[in-house]
Structure 1
Amino acid sequence: MPEVVLYIAASLDGYIATPDGGVKWLAAFENSGEDYGYSTFYESFDAVLMGSRTYQQLPELGEWSFTGKPCWVFSRRPLKVEQPEVTLTTQSPHEVMSELAARNLQRAWLLGGAELVASFRAQGLITEYVVSIIPVILGAGIPLFISPGPTEDLKLVESTPYPSGLVQLRYLPGKDDTDCRL
């Protein structure tokens, strides 16, 4: 089964977007001149998975940046699709993962949004979490993780602070055996 990496940014208070789905609050960090490891990550995956609202938000961020990488957009409603690499699907995450495996795709970026992340979590399909904590408090919005959801132990394998105040955390599923008492 292909790996699924949730690679996502969240505000310090745990939101991935404003209440209306906007992500313009990320612009200051995207334009800071720092890559935050994105180029290396981009080269590491060969498929993209996203929800319909995330797909519809992408035009406000500029041009399509996944040219040449197959992309599955999960939607229960018809959408206008303009990119040849996009497949609109109503299948379950597990069914799409079987399709990726049949196409010999090894690693997929789970881009969002929150409902799709919840579906992948519920089916135990996320193999890595890379969460960039942005030093912004939104106060309200679309949460990174929605309820209900399964309890999942994670092991911190990497933590990278940046001069901008952004901190990137990388977790793998599984219990951390270290004693973390304060």
Structure 2
Amino acid sequence: MTKVTLYIAASLDGYIARSDGGIDWLSILDTEGEDFAYTAFYESIDAIVLGSKTYEVGLGFEQWPYPEKKSFVFTQRHLQSEREDVVFVSESVKQALANIETEGFKNIWLVGGGKLINSFLQHSLIDEYIISTIPTILGGGIQLFPPPTPEEKLELINSQQYPGGLVQSHYRRQIKN
């Protein structure tokens, strides 16, 4: 059984990026000696799913941010990559996830963005949520859960507060009876 985890940072007012896609406000995550449990999480997953705009943000980094993991990029555009670990998918999230599972991937990191997160939510495909709330109010931008978003009941697994004000909450989707 495949497990999909949304692991993401959001501003206090629920944005994952500025309107132009900018993520400079995430500099709080560059705290020396603290990785906010990222390394342990990254080692626990075996594949990544992300939208094309989030993929393009990743290309802007000095190094590819998802080394040694297969990345499935959801897009309707005709994108290409020199990387052998990047695959572009255009089918529905349900079909793509079934194909990813067929390839043997069990622990999937849903990186973002907002539209892709919403597509996974529409089909109840997110099993766990690890949301790092950054103590910043952006006042606008790309919403973590853009409407229309279906209602989803979650149970808290744990919550961790870090120096600097970041709060990381880990939730599990409640199984509907």
Say yes or no: TM over 0.5: yes
CA distance in structure 1 between the partners assigned to 2:48 and 2:108 by the alignment: 5
Equivalence for 1:69: 69
Equivalence for 1:180: none
Equivalence for 1:84: 84
Superposition deviation, residue 90 in structure 1: 0.4
Per-residue Cα deviation, 1:71-105 (whole angstroms, up to 9, x for no partner) = 11000111232311111110111111111221111
- 2:140 corresponds to 1:140: yes
Equivalence for 1:178: none
TM-score by length of 2: 0.94
Which SS does the other structure have where 2:66 is aligned? Answer: coil
Paired letter, 1:55 = Y
- 2:52 corresponds to 1:52: yes
Paired letter, 1:23 = I
CA distance in structure 2 between the partners assigned to 1:11 and 1:67 by the alignment: 26
Which SS does the other structure have where 2:41 is aligned? Answer: helix
Paired letter, 1:137 = I
- 2:148 corresponds to 1:164: no
Superposition deviation, residue 115 in structure 1: 0.2
CA distance in structure 2 between the partners assigned to 1:23 and 1:82 by the alignment: 25
Paired letter, 2:60 = E
CA distance in structure 2 between the partners assigned to 1:68 and 1:80 by the alignment: 19
Number of equivalent positions: 175
Per-residue Cα deviation, 1:36-73 (whole angstroms, up to 9, x for no partner) = 00000000000000000000111333311322211110
- 2:8 corresponds to 1:8: yes
TM-score by length of 1: 0.92
Give the unaligned 5+ runs of structure 1: 176-182
Question: What percentage of residue pairs aligned between the two structures are identical?
Answer: 43
Kindly report the root-mean-square deviation, in angstroms, between the aligned alpha carbons of the 2 structures. 1.3
Paired letter, 2:148 = P
Equivalence for 1:40: 40
Paired letter, 1:174 = Q
Give the unaligned 5+ runs of structure 2: none
Paired letter, 2:58 = L
Which deviates more, 71-80 or 42-51? Answer: 71-80
Equivalence for 1:151: 151
